[in-house]
């Protein structure tokens, strides 16, 4: 069985799309090849790395990438935008995309406050993304696995 390619797209590819890529890669690598990219990529946010490490996910192999790395070069079964800006600004035509989905998550990097407050916001968004990935896989009758 050929693995289906999934691209998680965000504006900066520094938080939400990185988390989604890590969760899908861990939970369903038998079925999917997970990728992430951004319209205006920035380095992976240190809080993203930290909150993912808290639950046993190592992002050291992931990097922030521009969507142009994939546009017209890699065929994806799914394109999933994880922020409203990416949904608004994503190219409307993308060769090879079978299914385009939009999952709106708040940008934890925009939260202003104490370090504890920022960490709490990153954890909240992490939990939302983890739950959405789990639900999406259940809807497709794909059992969760862990590496």
DSSP 110: G
Per-residue pLDDT of 72-107, as tens digits, reads: 888 899 999 998 777 776 666 666 677 889 999 999
Dihedral over Cα of 30, 90, 64, 138: its sign: negative
Could you give the residue ranges of the DSSP H alpha helices within 29-142?
46-54, 84-89, 115-139
Contacts of 1 (CB under 8 A, 6+ apart): 31
- The predicted model scores a pTM of 0.92
Active centre residues (catalytic) = 10, 83, 90
Strand bridging mode 78-81 / 99-102? parallel
């Amino acid at each position: 069985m050929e693995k289906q390619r999934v691209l998680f797209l965000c504006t900066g590819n520094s938080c939400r799309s990185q988390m989604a890529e890590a969760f899908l890669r861990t939970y369903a690598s038998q079925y999917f090849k997970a990728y992430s990219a951004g319209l205006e990529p920035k380095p992976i946010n240190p809080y993203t790395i930290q909150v993912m490490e808290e639950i046993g996910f190592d992002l050291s192999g992931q990097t922030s990438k521009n969507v142009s790395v994939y546009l017209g070069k890699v065929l994806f079964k799914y394109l999933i935008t994880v922020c409203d800006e990416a949904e608004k600004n994503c190219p409307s035509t993308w060769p090879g995309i079978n299914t385009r989905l939009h999952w709106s998550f708040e940008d934890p990097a925009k939260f202003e406050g104490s370090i504890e407050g920022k960490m709490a916001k990153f954890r909240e968004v992490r939990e939302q993304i983890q739950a959405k990935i789990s639900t999406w896989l259940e809807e497709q009758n794909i059992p969760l696995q862990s590496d």
